[in-house]
């Protein structure tokens, strides 16, 4: 990847974000363990307390995200990122006194949880400004020919962080104490701050008006632009159905492992690792794949292939075969996710990127929460105890839900074919020939 190797701005930003993302995974997992095994240990309301972590992160994305997009498109994005990183570092560090027995011993469980949730909500609010800015800035410093590779590397970075970060959380909490997870996350924000401060940005990414001229008008303009762009609608549909499918699998895969694969719950982590490793490989291969069959085909073809593989996975009853299929799903999803960015950038002008991202992210958050809630309710009520035999095949609650999720994937892929093929904005996005080895 010679173009990216010589790109100092990209290298600085990517390295800072890689460290920050790993810190986030360590922090998020530690907070869940801290609440579930320490603060709410032995309490009947412990599951609800842990669920509060998810809600604290998700609600700002749904409520603040769309509003933040307007300001991201008007303010200096570099300044937004620096401010958000500095504030999140301070917020996380503010939790440190709760790790000291002299302080925590003076607070009730309810007060401690309230403070933790308040910090998580505030940090998530700043993230709604940071994330769209990061997307716009990262791809503003990359040449058009390098966008597929850069997108693949960022997807692979996130997937690798998801593999590396959570296993570090338990020893940090139980051996060294929660304070070290807090320190690591705060420092990761400061590293991100430093790399952004050292980066020179193109004028198109950095120069913004100081204040929105008319917030209401610009907010409506962003929604109108999104709603009238067939490519963005197709991307949103694909992202939502993929999130619905992933949410169902994430919510029920533990039970699928024990009931359908007939193995101990300890193998659940192995399946997750297989999916994560597959996602890393798929994301890294995305630049090479896109260079040969275009981002459009990777997107809709990936949705269809993923749907087929999810249906195949739902019929698995042997652990080794399930691991292989889930790894293949990860490969397809990794490539699929990496293909979204080039398509999004091809149809969205720089001055609209913040609002477009701020519409997509809440849609995925809502889809994720809906999938988790719906699949859990269906498996616990309507489909509970289901045992149906059709053409010699047995269907239970978990494999049935997975199969339905696979059909959603396929439907989303089929629906995306026409708008992606017919868009004049994508006519010239057939990827450049590969300039080197797979990154």
Tokens of 227: 């709603």
d(CA 179, CA 141): 36
Does 1.20.950.20 match the CATH number of domain 1-211?
Answer: no
Q: Are 330 and 278 in contact (CB under 8 A)?
A: yes
Give the per-residue pLDDT at 92: 93
Give domain limits for the chain. Answer: 1-211, 214-429
> Could you tell me the pLDDT band of residue 433, with boundaries at 50, 70 and 90?
very low
Each residue of 380-406: pLDDT tens digit?
787 887 778 777 678 888 899 899 999
Each residue of 256-309: pLDDT tens digit?
888 889 888 778 778 878 888 888 888 888 878 877 888 889 999 999 999 999
Each residue of 299-324: pLDDT tens digit?
999 999 999 999 999 999 899 999 99
The DSSP-derived string for 15-64 is HHHHHHHHHHHHHHHHHHHHIIIIITTT-TTHHHHHHHHHHHHHHHHHHT
Average pLDDT over residues 237-249: 84
- How high does pLDDT run on average in the chain? 84
Average pLDDT over residues 413-424: 87
d(CA 374, CA 323): 25
Please state, in angstroms and as integers, the Cα–Cα distance from residue 82 to each residue in 89, 134, 193, 224, 378, following that order: 11, 11, 5, 30, 44
d(CA 62, CA 169): 27
What CATH fold (topology level) applies to the domain 214-429?
A: Growth Hormone; Chain: A; (1.20.1250)
Residue 207 has pLDDT above 70, yes or no: no
Going by the DSSP 8-state scheme, the letter that residue 387 receives in this structure is -
Are 1-211 and 214-429 the same fold in CATH? Answer: yes
Average pLDDT over residues 154-175: 82
Q: Are 419 and 401 in contact (CB under 8 A)?
A: no
Each residue of 330-381: pLDDT tens digit?
899 888 888 888 888 888 888 888 889 888 888 888 888 888 788 878 887 8
Tokens of 228: 């009238």
pTM of the model: 0.79
């Amino acid at each position: 990847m010679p173009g990216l190797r010589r790109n100092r701005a990209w290298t600085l930003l990517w390295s800072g974000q890689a460290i920050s993302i790993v810190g986030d995974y360590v922090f998020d997992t530690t907070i869940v363990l801290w609440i579930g095994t320490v603060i709410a240990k032995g309490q009947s309301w412990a599951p609800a307390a842990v669920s509060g972590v998810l809600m604290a992160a998700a609600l700002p994305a749904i409520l603040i995200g769309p509003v933040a997009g307007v300001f991201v498109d008007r303010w200096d994005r570099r300044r937004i990122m620096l401010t958000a990183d500095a504030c999140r570092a301070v917020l996380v560090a503010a939790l440190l006194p709760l790790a000291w027995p002299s302080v925590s011993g003076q607070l009730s469980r309810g007060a401690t949880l309230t403070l933790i949730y308040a910090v998580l909500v505030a940090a998530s609010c700043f993230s709604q400004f940071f994330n769209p800015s990061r997307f716009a800035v990262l791809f503003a410093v990359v040449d058009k020919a390098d966008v597929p590779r850069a997108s693949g590397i960022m997807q692979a970075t996130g997937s690798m962080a998801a593999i590396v970060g959570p296993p570090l959380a338990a020893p940090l909490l139980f051996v060294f104490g929660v304070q070290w997870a807090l320190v690591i996350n705060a420092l990761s924000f400061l590293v991100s701050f430093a790399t952004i401060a050292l980066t020179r940005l193109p004028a198109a990414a950095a120069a913004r008006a100081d204040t929105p001229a008319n917030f209401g008008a610009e907010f409506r303009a962003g929604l109108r632009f999104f709603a009238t762009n067939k490519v963005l609608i197709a991307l949103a549909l694909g992202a939502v159905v993929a999130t619905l499918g992933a949410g169902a699998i994430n919510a029920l895969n533990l039970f699928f492992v024990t009931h359908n694969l007939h193995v101990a719950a300890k193998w659940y982590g192995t399946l997750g690792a297989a999916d994560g490793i597959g996602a890393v490989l798929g994301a890294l291969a995305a630049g090479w794949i896109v260079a040969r069959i275009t981002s459009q085909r990777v997107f809709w073809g990936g949705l269809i292939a993923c749907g087929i593989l999810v249906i195949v996975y739902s019929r698995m009853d042997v652990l080794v075969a399930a691991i292989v299929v889930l790894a293949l799903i990860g490969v397809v999803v990794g490539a699929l996710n990496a293909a979204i960015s080039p398509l999004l950038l091809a149809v969205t002008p720089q001055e609209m990127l913040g609002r477009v991202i701020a519409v997509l992210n809440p849609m995925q958050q809502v889809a994720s929460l809906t999938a988790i809630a719906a699949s859990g309710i269906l498996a616990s009520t309507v489909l509970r105890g289901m045992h149906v035999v059709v053409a010699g095949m047995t269907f239970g609650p978990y494999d049935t839900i997975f199969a339905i999720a696979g059909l959603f994937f396929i439907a989303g892929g089929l629906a995306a074919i026409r708008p992606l093929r017919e868009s004049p904005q994508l006519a010239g996005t057939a990827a450049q020939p590969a300039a080197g080895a797979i990154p």
